């Protein structure tokens, strides 16, 4: 690559880097709930259960465990539910919990309502 092309790429990278910012998982979900299956209460409940059960199945499969999954849904208000999913999977190490459930997403596409390519961008 020629020196001027490298310099141009570096400048472009710096411009793109300035557009990046961190976004919390909760902010990402709030801004993109329509893309993630949380745009109405019925769909949100279905998506929550499906994702949790899928995660349980995946974890048990990776660990070579025959899955035992329990789903408990309790209505706590007019449009509120408590969902509890338990399984016999390997679990999550305590020190990984913040990284899995409270990790910040970083990038520029999370703040736009359009994706540049494919379904997930």
Is residue 36 in some structural domain? yes
Distance CA 96, CA 58 (A): 17
Number of domains present in the structure of the chain: 1
CATH of the domain at 50: 3.30.565.10
Is residue 81 in some structural domain? yes
Q: What are the residues facing 77 on neighbouring strands?
A: 80
Is residue 9 in some structural domain? no
Q: Is 44 exposed, middle or buried (0-12, 13-18, 19+ CB in 10 A)?
A: middle
Please report, in tens digits, the pLDDT of each residue of the chain (121 residues total). Answer: 555 555 566 677 777 767 766 777 778 777 887 877 778 888 989 988 998 999 899 999 999 999 999 999 999 999 899 999 999 999 988 888 887 776 655 444 444 444 443 333 3
Residue 31 structural domain? 20-111
Tell me which H or E stretch contains 71: strand 69-77
Distance CA 80, CA 59 (A): 28
Is residue 40 in some structural domain? yes
pTM of the predicted structure, to 2 decimals? 0.61
Other Cβ atoms less than 10 A from the Cβ of 15: the count is 9
CA distances from 60 to 84, 94, 99 (A): 17, 18, 20
Is residue 27 in some structural domain? yes
Q: What are the residues facing 91 on neighbouring strands?
A: none
């Amino acid at each position: 690559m020629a020196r001027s092309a490298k310099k141009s790429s570096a400048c472009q990278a710096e411009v793109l880097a300035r557009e990046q910012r961190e976004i919390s998982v909760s902010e990402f979900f709030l801004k993109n709930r329509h893309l993630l299956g949380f745009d109405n209460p019925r769909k949100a409940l279905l998506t929550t259960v499906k994702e949790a059960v899928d995660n349980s199945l995946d974890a048990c499969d990776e660990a070579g465990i025959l899955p035992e999954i329990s789903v408990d849904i309790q209505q706590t208000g007019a449009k509120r539910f408590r969902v509890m999913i338990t399984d016999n999977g390997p679990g999550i190490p305590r020190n990984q919990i913040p990284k899995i459930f409270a990790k910040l997403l970083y990038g520029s596409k999370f703040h736009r309502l359009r994706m540049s390519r494919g379904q997930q961008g």
